[in-house]
Amino acid sequence: MSIPQSGGGPIESFDQLADYMASGEKPKERWRIGTEHEKFGWLTDSRAPLPYTGERSIQTLFDALADRYGWQKLREGEVVVGLERNGANISLEPGGQLELSGAPLTSIGEVEAELRNHLDEVRSIADPLGIRFMGIGAPPEWSHAEMPVMPKGATG
């Protein structure tokens, strides 16, 4: 999930930049790795983007992930806009992308296992519904007009 950033004005020297970077250092024992994995959903029979509501939708996926795998729903008002479990989040992004923001983990092996588990959970629900996902940064062929409008941000 994106977090609003605040700045401290322009950096005017190398030393100022170095000091700023050093201020964010953590001791090695607190180093962590996290995943951000965004994916567009689409309907296999029509190749249309995955809508937010309906029998085959993001809402259906969120409900099933919560019911079957213990994710907790995150809401804006009454609208479910994401899920949370064990320090990880699945968020709803513009255009209907789902993003896994993984938990802070200590090894790349743990990150791989978390991502594989996430993709397996999503696939177990999506495949029987005729839904697939593409882990790409932009939709391959949909026009702006075809992209579904997401309810995120509409209520708060």
Each of the 156 residues of the chain gets a pLDDT tens digit; together they read 444 456 677 888 999 999 888 988 989 899 999 989 999 999 999 999 999 999 999 999 999 999 999 999 999 999 999 999 999 999 988 878 899 999 999 999 999 999 999 999 999 999 999 999 998 877 777 777 777 778 876 444
Q: Given this model, what pLDDT does residue 1 score? A: 44
Range of the domain at 66: 37-146
Q: Given this model, what pLDDT does residue 115 score? A: 96
| 42: in domain | yes
Locate 80 and state its tokens.
């479910």
| 154: in domain | no
| 51: in domain | yes
User: Which strands form 98-101's sheet, in the order they lie side by side?
Assistant: 72-76, 79-85, 88-92, 98-101, 36-43, 131-134
| 4: in domain | no
| 19: in domain | no
| 153: in domain | no
- Helix and strand numbers (H, E) in the chain are 3, 6
Q: Given this model, what pLDDT does residue 113 score? A: 96
Q: Given this model, what pLDDT does residue 7 score? A: 64
Domain count, the chain: 1
Q: Given this model, what pLDDT does residue 10 score? A: 84
Selection from 141, 114, 115, 117 nearest residue 42 by Cα: 141
Full-model pTM: 0.79
Contacts of 135 (CB under 8 A, 6+ apart): 37, 38, 39
Locate 107 and state its tokens.
């090894």
